[in-house]
Amino acid sequence: MNGAVLLVVNLIATWYMVGLIWMVQIVHYNMFDRVGHEQFQQYEADHNRLITPIVAVPMLFELGTAVLLLFSAPDSFPRWAAIVGLVIVGLIWLSTVLLQIPCHTQLLSGFDEATYRRLVSSNWVRTVLWTARGGLMGYYALIAIK
């Protein structure tokens, strides 16, 4: 795949996730405590089932293209930026696997205030990382098209 195309696909996947993570952080997660205890288990199960394809596919595109950018980036895209971008993706995946997925798994058993608060607060890690990555990728995309 052409380096410029890789950069654009990566940029699209990253910014899709930036928008999605902000919506989840500010709107979606902040309404979990309003569902009601009787309906929460089903709500959480539905959330997991419905959000997984919306999140997993772009995350996989982002990861794949971040790896490929190490080898096939446009000349204007410095190798250190590809490495930093990939490290950020790795940190996002680690946060997802180690922090957010365990919270969602626990919430499948029913609403728990402490777990819910841990989910909302730990998700700021991904929100900040994706926003930083979006800025990095956007900056280098601008340089690439000049």
Quote the pLDDT of residue 44.
97
Containing structural domain, residue 45: 3-145
Residue range 30-86, pLDDT digits in tens: 999 999 999 999 999 999 999 999 999 999 999 999 999 999 988 888 999 999 999
Query: What average pLDDT does range 9-19 have in this prediction?
Result: 97
* Eight-state DSSP code of residue 1: -
Quote the pLDDT of residue 30.
93
Residues 141, 136: Cα–Cα separation, whole Å? 9
Please give the tally of structural domains in the chain: 1
What rounded mean pLDDT belongs to the chain? 95
pLDDT bin (cut points 50, 70, 90) of residue 127 is very high
pLDDT surpassing 80 at residue 146: no
Q: pTM score, two decimals?
A: 0.94
Q: What is the CATH number of the domain that holds 30?
A: 1.20.120
- Who's near 11: CB < 8 A, 6+ residues apart? 137, 138, 141
Give Cα 116 to chain centroid, integer Å.
19
